[in-house]
C-alpha cells in the first residue's frame, strides 16, 4: 500500500514543473542563453496559463488545441515552435514515467489533420525599411539627435548589425587599433563568432563615446544594464519615418544589390547570414573579411552623404553625442 502511494505521488507532476525540469536538463546543451529564454517565454505566455497546473499525465488533445488554436493563424511561427516545445516536454515526461500513451502534441498523423499547415497560413513578416535612397538624409538628421539610443542606432546602421548584438556590445569586443568588432558566438543568432570590420566613421563614433563607470557595455542605459530594443525603436519613431531598427539591415542589403558590384556572399556574410548548404560551409574556411571591410567602408560613405540642391555634401563629420 505504501509503495503504491509513493508511486502515485511520484507521478503528481504538473505540466509547468515538467517543462521547467526539461529546460533545466537540456539548456546546458543549447547554443546560447537566449534559446533557453525563448523556451521559457513562449511556455509562460501561452502554455502555463492554460495547462501549467494540469498534471502532466492528464494533458490531452483538447488541452493542446486550447493552447494552439487561438494563436495558430495570427502567430503561426510562435504557435509552431510552441507545439514542438510542448511535444518535447511531454515526451520527456513519458520517458520519466510521469505519463503514458501517445503524445497529444505530435504533428504527423495527428495535429496535421486538425490544424492548417503552417506554410499555408503563415503571413510573411517584413520589417519596415527605409529606401536606401533616403538613408543619407536620415543619417544627417540622426547625427543631430543626442542620446545613447541614437548612438546605438548609428552604430547598428553603419555596421549592418542586429539590434541585440549592438545593445549587448562591450568594449572588450572592440579592437580599435585593428578596427574590428568581434561578437562572440553566444550573442549571435547563428551561434558562431562574427567579426565586423569597423569603418573610419564607426571608429570616430566609438572614440567620441563616454566610458561609463561600472559597466563594460558600449551603449549602457542611463539606469544601468543594456538598452532595451524599444529605445532604438523610439529614436526611429520620433524621427517620423516608416522603418524599424531591424529594417536598416534590409536597407543595407538593397543598396549592396542595386548600387554595388560586390558578390552576394560578401553582403550576406556582412549580415552574418548562413551561406549555402552544409557541404559548402564545410569547404568555406574564410569569412571574406577584407572584402567586407571595403564593403562596409563604401556603405558608410554612402550613408553619410546627402543630396542637397543637386550637390553632394559630405557629412562624415559625425556628431557622436
The pLDDT tens digits of the residues spanning 133-146 come to: 999 999 999 999 99
Gap between the Cα atoms of 172 and 156, Å rounded = 18
230 shares a domain with 114: no
Cβ(138)–Cβ(239) under 8 Å? yes
Flag whether 319 is in a domain: no
Domain count, the chain: 2
What percent of the chain clears pLDDT 70, i.e. is strictly above it?
A: 86
Q: Are residues 117 and 136 in the same domain?
A: no
The predicted model gives 156-183 an average pLDDT of 95
For position 309, what pLDDT does the model report? 36
Same domain as 289, residue 146 = yes
- For residue 68, what are the CA distances in angstroms to 74, 83, 118, 316? 11, 7, 12, 51
* Cell numbers for 256: 549592396
With respect to residue 189, please indicate whether it lies within any of the assigned structural domains.
yes
Parallel, antiparallel, or unpaired for β 305-308 and 194-197? unpaired
DSSP code per residue over 235-283: HHHHTT-S--TTHHHHHHHHHHHHH----HHHHHHHTT---S-HHHHHH
* Structural domain range at position 173: 132-314
Confidence check: pLDDT of 97 > 50: yes
Look at residue 238 and tell me whether its pLDDT is greater than 50. Answer: yes
Answer yes or no: is 321 within a domain: no
Q: Which of 148, 262, 141, 140 is nearest to 209 (CA)?
A: 148
The dihedrals phi and psi of 174, each to the nearest 5 degrees, come to -100, 130
pLDDT digits (tens, 9 = 90+) for 216-233: 999 999 888 888 878 999
Going by the DSSP 8-state scheme, the letter that residue 190 receives in this structure is T
Average pLDDT, integer, range 250-277 = 88
Report the pLDDT averaged over residues 267-281. Answer: 70
Give the least confident one: 129-143, 216-230, 246-260, 288-302: 216-230
Cα 16 to Cα 60, 84, 87, 89, 116: the distances in Å are 15, 15, 13, 9, 27
Record the cell numbers describing residue 14, joined without a space: 504538473
User: What CATH number is attached to the domain comprising 185?
Assistant: 1.10.443.10
Domain shared by 116 and 153, yes or no: no
102, 121, 140 - which closes a domain: 121
Query: pTM to 2 decimals?
Result: 0.60
CA distances from 35 to 20, 32, 38, 312 (A): 14, 6, 5, 46
Residue 155 placed within a domain: yes
- Which distant-in-sequence residues (6+ apart) come within 8 Å of 318 by Cβ? 143, 154, 201, 204, 205, 208, 304
Residue 122: predicted pLDDT: 57
Same domain, 158 and 99: no
- Based on the domain organization, do 204 and 141 belong to the same domain? yes
Is pLDDT larger for residue 258 or for residue 121?
A: 258
CATH of the domain at 51: 1.10.150.130
Cell of 231: 529605445
Q: What is the pLDDT of residues 63-92, one digit of tens each?
A: 999 999 988 987 888 899 999 999 999 999
- Residue 126 domain flag: no
Asked if residue 147 and residue 289 are part of one domain, the reply reads yes
Contacts of 102 (CB under 8 A, 6+ apart): 110
Same domain (yes/no): 103, 145? no
Neighbour count for residue 287 (Cβ, 10 Å) = 17
User: Do 56 and 140 reside in the same domain of the chain?
Assistant: no
Q: Is 90 exceeded by the pLDDT of residue 131? A: yes
Amino acid at each position: 500500500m505504501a509503495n503504491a502511494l509513493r508511486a502515485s505521488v511520484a507521478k503528481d507532476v504538473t505540466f509547468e514543473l515538467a517543462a521547467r525540469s526539461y529546460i533545466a536538463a537540456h539548456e546546458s546543451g543549447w547554443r546560447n542563453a537566449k534559446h533557453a529564454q525563448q523556451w521559457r517565454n513562449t511556455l509562460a505566455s501561452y502554455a502555463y496559463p492554460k495547462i501549467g497546473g494540469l498534471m502532466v499525465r492528464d494533458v490531452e488533445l483538447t488541452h493542446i488545441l486550447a493552447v494552439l488554436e487561438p494563436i495558430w493563424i495570427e502567430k503561426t511561427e510562435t504557435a509552431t515552435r510552441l507545439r514542438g516545445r510542448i511535444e518535447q516536454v511531454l515526451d520527456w515526461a513519458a520517458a520519466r514515467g510521469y505519463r503514458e500513451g501517445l503524445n497529444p502534441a505530435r504533428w504527423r498523423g495527428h495535429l496535421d489533420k486538425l490544424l492548417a499547415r503552417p506554410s499555408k497560413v503563415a503571413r510573411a513578416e517584413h520589417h519596415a525599411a527605409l529606401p536606401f535612397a533616403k538613408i543619407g538624409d536620415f543619417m544627417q538628421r540622426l547625427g543631430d539627435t543626442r542620446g545613447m539610443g541614437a548612438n546605438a542606432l548609428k552604430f547598428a546602421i553603419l555596421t549592418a548589425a542586429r539590434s541585440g548584438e549592438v545593445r549587448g556590445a562591450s568594449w572588450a569586443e572592440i579592437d580599435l587599433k585593428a578596427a574590428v568588432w568581434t561578437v562572440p558566438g553566444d550573442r549571435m543568432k547563428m551561434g558562431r563568432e562574427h567579426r565586423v570590420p569597423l569603418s573610419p566613421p564607426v571608429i570616430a563614433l566609438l572614440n567620441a563615446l563616454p566610458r561609463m563607470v561600472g559597466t563594460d557595455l558600449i551603449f549602457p542605459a542611463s539606469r544601468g544594464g543594456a538598452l532595451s530594443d524599444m529605445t532604438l525603436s523610439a529614436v526611429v519613431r520620433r524621427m517620423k519615418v516608416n522603418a524599424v531598427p531591424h529594417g536598416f539591415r534590409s536597407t543595407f542589403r538593397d543598396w549592396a544589390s542595386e548600387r554595388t558590384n560586390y558578390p552576394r556572399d560578401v553582403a550576406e556574410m556582412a549580415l552574418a547570414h548562413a551561406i549555402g548548404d552544409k557541404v559548402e560551409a564545410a569547404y568555406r574556411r574564410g569569412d571574406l573579411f577584407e572584402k567586407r571591410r571595403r564593403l562596409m567602408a563604401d556603405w558608410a560613405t554612402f550613408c553619410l552623404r546627402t543630396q542637397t540642391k543637386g550637390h553632394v555634401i559630405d557629412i562624415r563629420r559625425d556628431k557622436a553625442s
